[in-house]
Structure 1
Amino acid sequence: MLLKDKKVAIIGAGPVGLTMAKLLQQNGIDVAVYERDKNPKTRISGGTLDLHKGSGQDAMKKTGLLENYYTKAIAMGRIVANEQGEILFSKELSPEEQYDNPEINRNDLRQLLLDSLAPETVFWDRKFTELEEQNGKWILHFENNITATADFIIGANGGMSKARKFVTDAEIEHTGTLIIQGEVLEPKTSCPEFYQLCDNKILMSSSNGNLLVANSKNGDLLTYNVIFKTPQQWSQKNQLNSHNREEIASFLENKFSNWHECYKELFRATSSFIPGPTRKITLEIPWKTNRLLPITLIGDAAHIMPPFAGQGANTGLKDALILSENLTNGKFETLESAISDYEKQMFVYAKKAQLETSNNEIKMHDPNFSFQIFYQ
């Protein structure tokens, strides 16, 4: 076995990192996961994830957790409304579509994966700061002068990963879109008109390049994304303060001033906002071949992309599936060749996912764009 008597360190306990850990651990490999969150109860914000057949669901099946995913996930239809709150399109799911890509709360998915791992697999409150090579081993450095040792590093710690520089010179690029994430507590009473408009489906609305996508069934919350092209004059000076809820709500009410009152009701009812530009990492730059020791990247650390095709998490879970198979199937003579083969495959399907995402982003910025085009 390529990893016999070797220690694997995974940086990041998101869905991709935890899935990678499960896939290795069930093959008897010594693996540790290091996560910056304080503890497993730290809540993850953001919308639900829908795992696709052929990628995310395949990874879940390999871990033995697919049925658990189906139990916790919610199959949801789609509804398209215009800026005046008028329904343009509505789709209920057929019984055959219930398992296509049901939506799961991010916290539920993390807990599902954590429960499947051996005790003390994940080390919490470990904010990764640096890597160094020492006597043929990787030394991982974390805040508060904490260190760990490993033979093989898998960076799964997101788009801003500090492990990336050991693998590629590619740097984060902004794609020109701004997303403001919003969360609403008790939506039935705090924004009843908008909640009813959602009709227990994923709601999508667009007008003149401004878009809104909402899910009223994300655990106990209604979560949504407001999406629009980043203004050319946008700068550090006038970026929105994520800690100032009233400021962002007022900004959105003004930007969407000609939209129906139910959307403004939604903005006023929002308990927290997270604004941020969408980012990507190019895969056009070849990855380094002269690495000091075995190291690779999976998930957003490898190929972060905006969410406009629902491919980010699914592509990352496909990474974990293929890399784990290469490391455990006995087909490769060296660890380096198993890693190299994974990376060659990943470049192909991740580039395809990034292209689909980019094409959708271009379409969405068209003033005449409507979500209906995806259902014609």
Structure 2
Amino acid sequence: MLLKDSKVAIIGAGPVGLTMARLLQQHHIDVTVYERDKDPQARIWGGTLDLHKDTGQKAMKKAGLLDAYYDIAVPMGITVTDEKAKPLFTKAITDENRYDNPEINRNNLRTLLLGSLWEHTVVWDRKCTDVKVSDGQWQILFENGTQASADFVIGANGGMSGIRKYITDTAIEETGTMILQGDLPQPEIQYPELYRLCNGNRLMAAHEGNLLVINPNNNGNLAYGVIFKIPDKTEYNFQGEESIRQFLLERFSNWGELYQQLFQLTSSFRSLPTRKLPLSKPWKTSRPLPVTLIGDAAHLMPPFAGQGVNTGLMDALILSENLTCGKYESIQAAVNDYEQQMFIYASEAQRASSENEIEMRHPDFSFRQLIG
């Protein structure tokens, strides 16, 4: 086996990095995951994730976790309204589609994956600042002054990964879209009218280039995202929660009172300009030691086709199979084949996401166009 006597380091304990660790440990490979979060209880911001049957769920099945995912994840229908909160269309959950892409809270998915790993696999409070070659190994440097060594490094630490310099000089690009995320705890108590309107479904509304997507069941919170094209970047230098709230109330002033109240009741916001790492030119083939990227570190893309985490889980599935199948003569050969495959399917995922992004920002866009 290629990795029989090798130490593997995975940088990043997101769903892709943890799944990669699980798939390698099934073959008794020595793998350690280094994560910047202080501990496993650190909250992960963002909406729920939905793992698709033909990508993310395949990786979970290989990891022996698909049934556990189904036990935790929540099948969700879709309700589309106009800007005044008048329902226009509903796509219900049926026996036939309930397992297509059920939604799971990010923190719950992390807990599931952590529980599948050997004890002490993840080392917390380790923000990677650099990797260097020394004495025939990778030396991994962390912000807190500690170091670690490995024979093979897999970067799974997101779109701003510093490991990427050994692999590509391609720069991250902003796509021109802003997402403002908000959370409302105990929505059935704090905002029962909107909670009832959702009726367990994701709720979506679009009007004149402004989009609102609401998930009423994100581990006890109602989580939502507001999406719009950025006409002038200098216009959006938000200073705290209140500045975001006032911006939303003004931008959505012609929307219904139900949505206005949502912004007024929200206590915490997060702004997120969308970015992309184009797969427009080949990666470097000359590397000092085996190293590669998976997940957002490899192919960051906007979330408008639901492909990001699913593409990353396909990375973990294909790379782990290449490293353990006995077909390749070296780690780098297994990595090269994975990267060649990844460029094809990840480029297609990026293309689909970009097409949806352009379509969604059009003033006449309706969510029914995407739902069918």
Give the structure-1-normalised TM-score.
Answer: 0.98
Aligned residue in 1 for 2:324? 328
Aligned with 2:342: secondary structure? helix
- CA deviations over 1:64-86 (Å, ceiling 9, x no partner): 00000000000000110010111
- CA deviations over 1:328-364 (Å, ceiling 9, x no partner): 0011111111000000000000000000000000101
- CA deviations over 1:163-205 (Å, ceiling 9, x no partner): 1111110111000000001111111222222222211101110
Write out aligned runs for 1:89-168 (5 A): 89-168=89-168
Q: Tell me, in whole angstroms, the C-alpha distance in 1 between the residues paired with 2:363 and 2:122.
A: 46
Q: Tell me, in whole angstroms, the C-alpha distance in 1 between the residues paired with 2:108 and 2:149.
A: 30
Does the 8 Å contact 1:185/1:271 carry over to 2? no
Question: Quick check: 1:294 aligned with 2:298?
Answer: no
**More displaced 10-residue stretch of structure 1: 57-66 or 267-276:** 267-276
Task: Tell me how far 1:271 sits from its aligned partner.
Answer: 2.1
Question: Quick check: 1:282 aligned with 2:278?
Answer: yes
Task: Tell me how far 1:132 sits from its aligned partner.
Answer: 0.5
- Percent identity (aligned): 59
Does the 8 Å contact 1:169/1:285 carry over to 2? no
Aligned residue in 2 for 1:267? 263
- The one-letter code matched in structure 2 to 1:315 is T
- CA deviations over 1:229-250 (Å, ceiling 9, x no partner): 0122x22x74113xx2222111
Aligned residue in 1 for 2:36? 36
Question: Quick check: 1:307 aligned with 2:307?
Answer: no
Q: Tell me, in whole angstroms, the C-alpha distance in 1 between the residues paired with 2:227 and 2:149.
A: 42
- CA deviations over 1:128-172 (Å, ceiling 9, x no partner): 100100111000000121000000000000001011111110111
Unmatched 5+ stretches in structure 2:
none
Aligned residue in 1 for 2:189? 189
Question: Quick check: 1:360 aligned with 2:360?
Answer: no
Q: Tell me, in whole angstroms, the C-alpha distance in 2 between the residues paired with 1:119 and 1:266.
A: 42
Q: Tell me, in whole angstroms, the C-alpha distance in 1 between the residues paired with 2:195 and 2:247.
A: 21
Aligned residue in 2 for 1:240? 238
**More displaced 10-residue stretch of structure 1: 40-49 or 183-192:** 183-192
- The one-letter code matched in structure 2 to 1:343 is E
- The one-letter code matched in structure 2 to 1:64 is G
- The one-letter code matched in structure 2 to 1:171 is A
Aligned residue in 2 for 1:18? 18
Give the structure-2-normalised TM-score.
Answer: 0.99
Does the 8 Å contact 1:138/1:152 carry over to 2? yes
- The one-letter code matched in structure 2 to 1:156 is A
Aligned with 1:284: secondary structure? coil
Aligned with 1:183: secondary structure? strand
